[in-house]
Structure 1
Amino acid sequence: MAGGIDQNQLDALFTAALEAAVARIEKDGTFFPLLFELRVTGSIQNVAVLESGAIDGQQTVLDRFAEVLRSRIAEGLVAAAAIVVHRQTEDMVEVQLRATNYSANVFAPYGMETSGFLARKRQLSLGAFIVRPAPNEIF
């Protein structure tokens, strides 16, 4: 596995990222990309990246996340990371998992039921995950 990281740690990182994405979709209907770190201490943290400059499109946000992660990895703080993207037009959540010797994108298709007229309530049901190897541009 990925440089001292075991499968249970990667699973916990994936689960935390996916659960946060589901909660955001159920609450707001969509979300901006999210960043989670598995710290070398073993804790999982959601990271807020405050950007003072203008951001033109989603790709620049993902590039900024990668830049932030690279510096934190170089400092010895981060052992693995998950970047979560909402692919709203495809009814899918993508979790990009990265570690030293592991890199995959996990796609989680979902169905959504909505109810309520004024107070919109959403309930997601996840489909089968699709795991694809991906280039590791972070570690």
Structure 2
Amino acid sequence: MTIAHDPGPILDLFARAAAAWAAGDATAYGELFTEDAEYITWFGQRIRGAREIAETHRALFAKIPMGGQDGPAPEPSIRFLRPGVAVSVTVAESPVREPGQPGATSVVTHVAVEQDGAWRIASFQNTRETPIPGWDGSPGPRP
């Protein structure tokens, strides 16, 4: 079965998320999530629901200046699981940086759903890339 899909609205959703993040606009950022969204930060913090996502980001934006990304955003891979449901994975440099420190690379996974004619983020997982101690990344047994 082939699922007809158009990545345009999902790319637009991600562009609006990036703009809200860069502007430090927690309200606009939270509005892009479903009411029952799950949001996992790279520290493993679990945030539930659009309202809590907005409030948590309001506190974050007050402490850490966000600013825009250097250069164009990386293109996410988008796979439609069924009409109205898509998963995307993006590998990107994080815009959150400690003063004087380089950013960190993250793998970000989104599940986007279409609700009432609009795409929203139902699940977000941000995982910081870190090497596995004692493993060079080659195929085969890991330590």
TM-score w.r.t. the length of structure 1 is 0.32
Between structures 1 and 2, the one with greater helix share: 1
Whose Rg is larger? 2
TM-score w.r.t. the length of structure 2 is 0.31
